Every structure is written in C-alpha cells, then in structure tokens.
A and B are shown apart, each in its own frame.
Chain A
C-alpha cells in the first residue's frame, strides 16, 4: 500500500503546476499508469478522494488515468510487440535482448486548470 505515498507526490506536483500558472484550481488531470508500475489504479482513485477533501486547489478535481500495457522492442529483429506469457522475450524471434518501451510509466500526463480572473 504505497499508493498513499505516491498520491502525496501527485498532490505536490499538482500544486507546483497550479502555482506556476497562478491557477485558482485544478479541474481535472490524467495519469499514465503502466502495467509494471506496481500500483492499483482503483486504490489511487480512492486515496485521491480522501486526500483531496479540504484542499481548495484540488477538492473538485477529477482524476482520470490511461492504463498502458507492456510493449517490448527487440534489439535483434527490431519488432515491437506486446509481451506474451508475462515474459520479456521477443514473441517473433525468441530473443531476450528486449527493451520495455511501454508499461513502466507512473506519471502525471496533463492537467486542466482554472485560471484566476486577474491572470492575463
């Protein structure tokens, strides 16, 4: 259950973005969560509901996320494919010289802000 700790970093990031743009509040934001990121998206959502209460900057913010499944790129045959049987092995040529090109993300993708009236 490190979701709460991740959420605290998320709130700090949101505050930072809002401050940079002198925003009044966060309307919505989107996370990218990879299959190998080791977090349960539903737990993140629940934890965010708890954490946002009482913070005027984020209390009405909506959280959305994109789940990214694992994709690997083979160094030998050059093909990019989803992994099979949860193994980091190229399904085309069997090589284990592969890179994970998608599926490890745990990041704040984008944010929609409401700006203060006086901001030009």
Chain B
C-alpha cells in the first residue's frame, strides 16, 4: 500500500476570493462602485440605506442588493424609495458569498449603475469571512448594541474600511460611549474611518453620503 504526503497550503476560501476579485475588476471597469454593509440584525442597515438612496438617486443610478434568509421585505422598502433593489434570499445561509452576488449580477447585467449597495445578512460573524468583490466594506454598530462589540467580533471590524455608528438619537437612553466604540474599532483597524448617524433625525447622513461619493470617485480614478 503506497502512501503519499502532499504539501497543499491552499486557502479554503480560495474559490470565493478568486470570484470576488473578478467581480471587483469587472465593476471597476464599468465605473460601478460597490459597497458591502455588515452588521448585527436590527442595527439599522435598511434605514440608513433608505436615507442614502434618497440622497443619491437624483444624481446617481443606484442598485441595492438585499441579503436575507427569507422574505422580500427589505427590497420592497428600498423600491418604495424609487431605486432598483433585488432581494437575495439565502434560504438559511447566514451570509452572502461571491457566487450568490455573481448570480444576481448576471440577471441585472447590461444595466449600468454608479453605485451598488449590498446589504449583507444581519450577522457580525460569518459575513466577515466572505469577500463579495466590494470596493468598500462598511460595518454598522447601533447604540443599543453596546460599545464593546468590536472586541467581541474582531474580524468584522478588522476587515471594515469604515464604521458607522447608527441610532445616535438613542444615546441619552443607553450607556454607550461612542469614543470607546471608535477606540475599540481602531485597536483592530487603526485606519478605520468612522461616522456617527441617526436615520431618524438625519444626523450625520449628509457627511456619510458625501464620503461615499468621494470614495467612489477616488476609487474609480485610481
């Protein structure tokens, strides 16, 4: 009986990462800026997106991809704002993978957008491991969740380019220290760019939208 020892050294997420890289280049060549939004369930991703598309839609063509385990509800909320939205129901999978995004992308291909905003499945663990080909990864953290989240979910905060604190209007009701949350995030990602927003009052939304527009032009000029 012959045995053979093989040195493999192969990344287990290689297939996902290769596809993500292809998507990223394809989008960039078409002038499409893609953002991947990660957070816990109920931290206000859809509400921030509603505000964001309201501000972007007069000057930019926007597509929103909504990742959820089940239901079309989030996509319907976005469509009500007058922009295109496609629901990706994962049927139980707790995160989006590059092939799910690629499949949906093929269905909408031919249309050109300026922004594609991907709302990942609400979960701070699994989505952090999957590159979707995005140009910018944003993690959201809401005031009621607590300022200790970055330390508990290091990968999500380590891989995020930006962090958006949401539901800032609730600050008086919680013992949440925004400075502490930002300091915790910087321990894992020293150059993380941070925002403080409230979709309800509109606080910080303009700054966030301007930063998105700036990031898009910087990225596409490179």
Please report A residues at the B interface, Cβ cutoff 8 Å.
Answer: 1-2, 5-6, 9-10, 12-13, 17, 21, 23, 27, 29, 31, 36-39, 85-89, 96-98, 106-115, 117, 119
* Partner among B3, B7, B129, B130 whose Cβ is within 8 Å of the Cβ of A27: B3
- Bound-complex Cα distance A82 to B4 (A): 35
Given A17-B6, A111-B6; A38-B12 close (CB under 8 Å): no
Residue of B nearest to A18 (CB): B6
Chain B residue with the shortest CB-CB distance to A120: B2
Q: Quick one: which of B82-129 are within 8 Å of A by CB?
A: 93-95, 97, 125-126, 128-129
Residues of B within 8 A of A112 (CB): 3-6
- In the complex, what distance in Å separates the CA atom of A36 from the CA atom of B125? 11
Contact A86 B13 (CB under 8 A): no
Instruction: Give B178-215 as 1s and 0s: 1 = Cβ < 8 Å from A's Cβ atoms.
Output: 00000000111110000000000000000000000000
Give the total of B residues in contact with A, Cβ under 8 Å: 34
Majority DSSP secondary structure for residues of A touching B: mixed
B12 near A10 with CB under 8 A, answer: yes
Among B148-162, those with CB < 8 Å from A are 151, 154-155, 158
Take A38-B129, A107-B12 as given contacts and tell me if A5 and B3 are in contact as well, using a CB distance cutoff of 8 Å.
no
Is A9's CB under 8 angstroms from B187's CB? no
- Contact: A96 with B2, CB < 8 Å? no
Shortest Cβ gap from B27 to chain A (Å): 23
Closest to A4 in B: B93
What CA separation (Å) do A5 and B13 show in the bound complex? 9
Complex CA distance for A21 and B6, rounded to whole angstroms? 9
Residues of B within 8 A of A1 (CB): 94, 126
Contacts of B130 in A (CB 8 A): 2
**Which of A36, A38, A89 has the most chain B CB within a 10 Å cutoff?**
A38
